[in-house]
Structure 1
Amino acid sequence: MKKIIYLLGFLALGIIVSCEKEVESAAAADATKLVNVTGQWEVTAYNDSTLISGPFKVITLKNPSAESDSITIQDTEVKFWEFQIKAFVDEKNGTFQTELSNCEVSEEAIGIKILNGKIFNSDSIYFEIQFEDDETPYGNTYQLKGHRIKE
């Protein structure tokens, strides 16, 4: 009888250990998964809760350098503001920001700040943006939010 109890205890322990390994393996796989930061987005611009512009298309491109940790963000339709800038990106959690970058498509190289940038589930985007050439330089924080355009 003791042998049966020991055998059942051993089997139960084996099942518990194997289940824990599967959970750990799934967690490890999720930890190495990167958010797709490159894409085309249909976004709308707000100032607080007031609609400013939209919808319009913005693109994000991961810089091709293998060691690069930045993306380029561009308003391709220029319906809101003409801008193209680089921002730091963390592909593990889908966040991006820049304390101050210069616009790459402006003759004056105006300053632009991106705050609280986030890509959710690789299909939604949100970021806040400020412009040096605004009525009050960096005085307005615009919220841009939208979804990925299926290609």
Structure 2
Amino acid sequence: MKKIIYLLGLITIGIFASCEREVNTSISDSTNSVNINLAGQWEVTAYNDTSTIFGPFKVITLQNPSAKNDSITIQDSEVKFWNFQIKASVNEKNGTFQTKLSTCEMSEDGIGVKISNGKIVNTDSIYFEIQFEDDETPYGNTYQLKGHRIS
């Protein structure tokens, strides 16, 4: 008899625990639908795989709300790592951004720049991968830029 009561108690606890997990999941899903502020100043470091390439340096991301477009401008504001300023497409709902190929707005030669896996994490961290056409091997290196918001 004690074994049956013990078994029923475990089953009841298991049911309550699974219901609680389901409620928490739906709450986090509704939180993810809030727009994330992508504009800001960031202090980032550039990596190639696990090796530090350069940093820290400042990058800015700008949005023009009056333009009502789905892009941001990303710029190496100190021109210490690479002289780049490009536009990237944005998904404000999940804080991601990318470009298949953009032209560097700082270059008279129309140098291509690719950004992939761009993401704002917890509103205060940034991560993106970037490749440059004017690298030693065009688009041959993928640099990971990681950092945090400074304003």
For 2:28 and 2:47, locate their aligned partners in 1 and report how far apart those are by CA, in whole Å: 37
Match of 2:141 in 1: 140
1:36 match: 37
Which residue in the other structure is 1:88 paired with? Answer: 89
Question: 1:65 is paired with a residue of what secondary structure?
Answer: helix
Q: Which residue of 2 aligns with 1:17?
A: none
- Is residue 61 of structure 1 aligned with residue 74 of structure 2? no
Distance 2:40 2:54 in 1: 20
User: Aligned partners of 1:66, 1:137: CA distance in 2, in Å?
Assistant: 32
Report how far residue 62 of structure 1 moved.
Answer: 1.2
Q: 1:77-122: CA deviations, max 9, x gaps?
A: 0110000000000010000000000000111110000010000011
Distance (whole Å) between structure 2 residues aligned to residue 104 and residue 74 of structure 1: 9
Q: Which residue of 1 aligns with 2:53?
A: 52
Aligned position for 1:12: none
Change in CA separation of 1:51 and 1:96 when aligned onto 2, cut-off 3 Å = same
Q: Give the aligned length.
A: 129
Residue identity opposite 2:76 in structure 1: D
The CA deviation at 1:30 is 2.3
Ranges in structure 2 where 5+ consecutive residues have no aligned partner: 1-23
RMSD of aligned alpha carbons: 2.0
Amino acid at match of 1:120: V
TM-score, normalisation: structure 1: 0.79
Cα offsets for 1:12-39 (capped at 9, x unmatched): xxxxxxxxxxx8x966862541111000
Measure the CA separation in 2 of the matches of 1:82 and 1:28.
38
Query: Would the alpha carbon gap of residues 26 and 51 (structure 1) be closer, same or farther in structure 2, given more than 3 Å must change?
Result: closer
Give the unaligned 5+ runs of structure 1.
Answer: 1-22
Identify which range, 101-110 or 61-70, moves more after superposition.
Answer: 61-70
- Equivalent in the alignment of 1:129: 130
Q: What is the one-letter code of the residue matched to 1:80? A: F
Bigger Cα Rg: 1
TM-score (norm 2): 0.79
Q: Secondary structure of the equivalent of 2:31?
A: helix
1:101 aligned to 2:70?
no
